[in-house]
A and B are shown apart, each in its own frame.
Chain A
Amino acid sequence: MQSPNRYQIALLSAYALALHGFESMFPSPVPWLRLGLANIVTLITLLLYGLRAAVTVTLIRVVLASILNGTFLGPAFLLSLGGGILSTLSMGFFASLTPRLFSATGLSLIGALFHNGAQLLLAYALFIQRIEAVLLITPLIVLLGTLTGTINGIVSELIIKNLKKSGEKIQNVDT
């Protein structure tokens, strides 16, 4: 694991932001179905550069995306921030506590689960305040999160494998 320089952080954040913007262009059939494509970048950052870099990239992505959307400091921002940070921390926790137990796919599942958990808790605390409403949507959200989390994990796995195979880390920016 190498420690990233600020250009790599900027590049990774830009990738995450681009994916975040890309997926918000899709009309979502249900509001809680997000592909979580940005989590691919978070996971790759975590596995190649460590937790600190992953948290930094997540923070930059969430803040910039919300400013571009016009939801900065609004309710959607709080949900996005809570979910993003908790999922990154949980993946970092399991990656360092039990290395090799989970592959990128398992870590992505953990990240998706904690992301959903944080968002449900925040939605309960901030907006809904009715436990029945939260309980009613929890199984559906966990199911969808598990499916998208698995796909994202496999994609991350493939990207990391390819990066390692070609012997190059994520392209550095010329300075």
Chain B
Amino acid sequence: MNFREILKFTTVADRVLFSILILLSLLGLIFVRSLIPGGNSVEIDVDGNLEYVLPLDEEKTVPVQGPQGTTLVEIRNHRVRVVESPCQNKLCIQQGWVEHGVIACLPNKVLITVGKNGKRSSEPDAVTE
């Protein structure tokens, strides 16, 4: 089974769809970071609630309490990282230092965002209780 035989039983629509998806996702990979504003403050959400707003230029280590335990967040040299986390896969730690964007630890429901002036760029229009 070679490549040409495989290509033979795909339709034109298959190939168009494949190309569009690859193209859009590659463009997205390149440009999505520039769409997300860098900033000078760090916001930490636990379970969807904003718990901490900290300046990015102040060196600090914060223990954040999540449902599974303590996630230790370190701010230094205008960067943020997760030092310790109770989650199993430790992906948040592997992500290392982040200058802008997001570190998420889904198991412990901790979300760290580098934002602007403590002002959230996605303020809700209204909140229903």
Contacts and interface: CB of A to CB of B under 8 A. Distances in A.
Interface of A: 30-31, 75, 98, 100-103, 105-106, 109-110, 113, 123, 127-133, 135-136, 138-140, 142-143, 146, 150, 153-154, 157-158, 161
23 contacts: A30-B91, A31-B91, A102-B13, A103-B9, A103-B11, A106-B14, A109-B17, A127-B109, A128-B106, A129-B45, A130-B102, A135-B35, A139-B24, A139-B26, A139-B27, A139-B29, A140-B25, A142-B25, A143-B22, A143-B29, A146-B18, A146-B25, A150-B18
A159 to B, nearest CB: 12
A142 B91 contact: no
A106 B18 CA distance: 8
B13 A113 contact: no
Give the interface SS of chain A, mostly helix, strand, loop or mixed: helix
A20 B53 CA distance: 41
A109 B121 contact: no
Contacts of B10: 103, 105-106
Interface in B83-116: 89, 91, 101-102, 104, 106, 109, 111, 113
B14 A103 contact: yes
Contacts of A106: 10-11, 13-14, 17-18
